[in-house]
Amino acid sequence: MILIRRGPLMSKLYVVGIGPGSVDYLTFKSKKIVDSIDILIGSKRALDLFPGSEAEKIQLDAVNMKSQLKLAVSRVIRGKSVALLSTGDPGFSGILKPILELSNDVEIEVVPGISSLQLCAAKLQIPWDNTNLITLHGKGLSNGLLKVINNGKPTIILPNFKVDELIRFLISNGVNGNRKAAVCEKLGYPDERVVESSLNSFLGDKFSYMCVIVIY
């Protein structure tokens, strides 16, 4: 089979959701754009999803993020098509918010992806239109979280802390340790793990940072 790479897309900044990090959850749209742009920017884990891309690749990490986002915008201004890869969906705890603060002078197209929260809800068969969706990325633990998880709906949390630390906070602030909970770890990967039990049972357990927590 001969693969033909289409010509580059128009000068634009594409903010592309790549799902939880597994090739299985990439959308056709994301693959089509990555196959056609000039410059591809993302974390190593994100770039590794597109080994066949002929685009110039720039690695993004927490240390250089702001400067690399500025670089992405400047390259678009110079006439290049650029794709920024965002784990999950760009609009939920993704890269869309910081890029909007820098990109007044360029055209943006956002390509949604499958959030790990969506995949978590699917694995646990939870209709997620009737849940509390919480991200703790860039936030601290607060009493606001306690109010939300007691409103009668399941709460799906994208944590920014160790699972043990989050659960200790909840229990120490009056949440019943016998309350049903679940941890979905490394969703979409061969070694994914979905564990349903009580909050108490997760104390002391060690999960990867790539996880989602559900409190029923």
How wide is the angle at C-alpha 156 spanned by C-alphas 169 and 123, nearest 5°?
130
| Residue among 55, 63, 104 at smallest CA distance from 84 | 55
Report whether 183 contacts 211 (CB < 8 A): yes
Other CB atoms within 10 Å distance of the CB of residue 18: 31
pLDDT at 55: 94
Q: Would the CATH topology of 13-114 be identical to that of 117-215? A: no
- The token pair that represents 105 in the structure block: 């002078």
| Residue among 140, 173, 131 at smallest CA distance from 159 | 140
pLDDT at 39: 95
Q: Tell me the pTM.
A: 0.86
Q: Which CATH superfamily is domain 13-114 in?
A: Tetrapyrrole methylase, N-terminal domain (3.40.1010.10)
What letter does residue 156 receive in the DSSP assignment? E
Which whole-number Å values give the CA distances from 191 to 6, 37, 115, 178, in the listed order? 35, 32, 18, 27
Return per-residue pLDDT of the chain as tens, 216 residues: 333 344 456 689 999 999 998 999 999 999 999 999 999 999 999 999 999 999 999 998 877 788 888 888 888 989 999 999 999 999 998 889 888 888 677 889 999 999 999 999 999 999 999 999 999 887 777 777 888 898 889 999 998 878 999 999 999 999 999 999 999 999 999 999 999 999 999 998 889 889 999 999
| Residue among 82, 94, 69, 85 at smallest CA distance from 18 | 85
pLDDT at 105: 75
pLDDT at 177: 95
CATH fit for domain 117-215, picks 3.30.1780.10, 2.60.40.10, 3.40.50.300, 3.30.950.10: 3.30.950.10
